Amino acid sequence: MNPADELAPYPSPEGRAAETADLAARVGGELVEYGTSVEGRPLVAVRVPSTLSDRPRILCGANIHGVEFIAGRVALGLLRALAEGDPRLLDLRARAELWVVPSINPDGYARTFAAGGHGRLPSFRANAHGVDLNRNYPRPGGAAPSWLPGAGSDRPGDATYRGPHPLSEPETAALDRLFRTQRFVAGANLHSFMGTVIPARVTERRAYATYRRLCRSFARAQPHRRYFRLASRIFDTFTGEQEDHQHHAHGTWAVCVETFTILASYRQHLRAPSVFWRFNPRDPAPWVENDVSGLCAYFGAALQIERPGTYDRPA
């Protein structure tokens, strides 16, 4: 079977690029090439200017792990909802400039697609250097690496190989430059398939409570399946993940969203025919609807509060 049939309804890399350009045009946005991947693919963001001038910026990024196609569907779902005149997106657009990155890791996406989703998880998750991009950010405050499972590995070939040094990869270095120039107030990084919202790791009581509120806003707005918040002031560790870097280095409210749920994934296939169908729902539509709702509520709530970084500073 060719990959297009095997992975339908998920688009090919070319299909995703065309759809992104089409949606950008429909919402009056512009395509911004903010860098180039290891294999020379453009790193593309859609910038949607606010209807009002001088608005804060928000960012929805997806697919930092190549196999997690559903995440990109949700990110583009925001643009599609805006194109279709969804009042929640029109409201958001009046309050903020929206940036969407449908694929942070286009090489991983292309590799997954070319293989029809059949292969080993580490090779689909990583960029073309075999690096887990979501372990490649600097650890806030120079925290020591954690030895907890999944926290990152120094061994090339491992699923969570963190790379030779922080921001060693063109995909993360380019995003870091974007963070610095655009100073996003809030961000969401979309993954699959745990059905959770994982805020940046913070230990200050007020920031921790703020994230609890933001995650609650997200979940309450989800019409089909509410995601639970995964956070702990004690057991979480810094592992070089994007949301921790965004919060602590760039003063952005930032969460990881794990679209799709473990239960739904196993209900879909007790034994998935490929790793791809473990991570992605056969029918993306209800999950896109579910999570676009959550994202609108989350961003709306985050726009009402002062950005972190100014938070604990004495008045």
Annotated active-site positions, please? 258
Enumerate residues 49-68 that contact Zn ion by CB under 5 A: 65
Choices 97-105, 143-151, 189-197, 228-236 (CB under 5 A): range interacting with Zn ion = 189-197
Residue 191 C-beta: closest distance to Zn ion, Å:
3
Angle at 202 between CA 143 and CA 148, to 5 degrees: 50
Report the residue number, 23 or 194, with the smaller CB distance to Zn ion: 194
Residue 255 C-beta: closest distance to Zn ion, Å:
13
Q: Report the phi/psi class of residue 186: left, alpha or beta, with left for phi > 0 and alpha for psi in -120 to 50.
A: beta
Residue 191 is a binding residue for Zn ion (CB under 5 A): yes
DSSP string, the chain: --HHHHHTTSPPHHHHHHHHHHHHHHTT-EEEEEEE-TTSPEEEEEEE--SSSS--EEEEEE-SSTT-HHHHHHHHHHHHHHHTT-HHHHHHHHH-EEEEES-S-HHHHHHHHHTTT-S-HHHHHS-TTS--GGG-SPPGGGPPPP-STTS-BSSTTSTTB--SSTT-SHHHHHHHHHHHHH--SEEEEEEESS-EEEEPP--SHHHHHHHHHHHHHHHHT-SS-PPEE---TTT----S-HHHHHHHHH--EEEEEEES-HHHHHHH-SS-SSTHHHHS-S--HHHHHHHHHHHHHHHHHHTTSPPTTSSSS--
Report the residue number, 97 or 243, with the smaller CB distance to Zn ion: 243
Report the residue number, 192 or 293, with the smaller CB distance to Zn ion: 192
- In sequence order, what are the residues at sequence separation of 6 or more whose Cβ sits closer than 8 angstroms to the Cβ of residue 285? none
| 123 to 152: interface string for Zn ion, x by CB under 5 A | ------------------------------
Residue 71 C-beta: closest distance to Zn ion, Å:
7
Report the residue number, 139 or 191, with the smaller CB distance to Zn ion: 191
Residue 245 is a binding residue for Zn ion (CB under 5 A): no
| 256 to 275: interface string for Zn ion, x by CB under 5 A | --------------------
| 147 to 186: interface string for Zn ion, x by CB under 5 A | ----------------------------------------
Residue 257 C-beta: closest distance to Zn ion, Å:
10
Residue 149 C-beta: closest distance to Zn ion, Å:
15
| 69 to 108: interface string for Zn ion, x by CB under 5 A | ----------------------------------------
Residue 122 C-beta: closest distance to Zn ion, Å:
12
Q: Which residues bind Zn ion (CB under 5 A)?
A: 65, 191
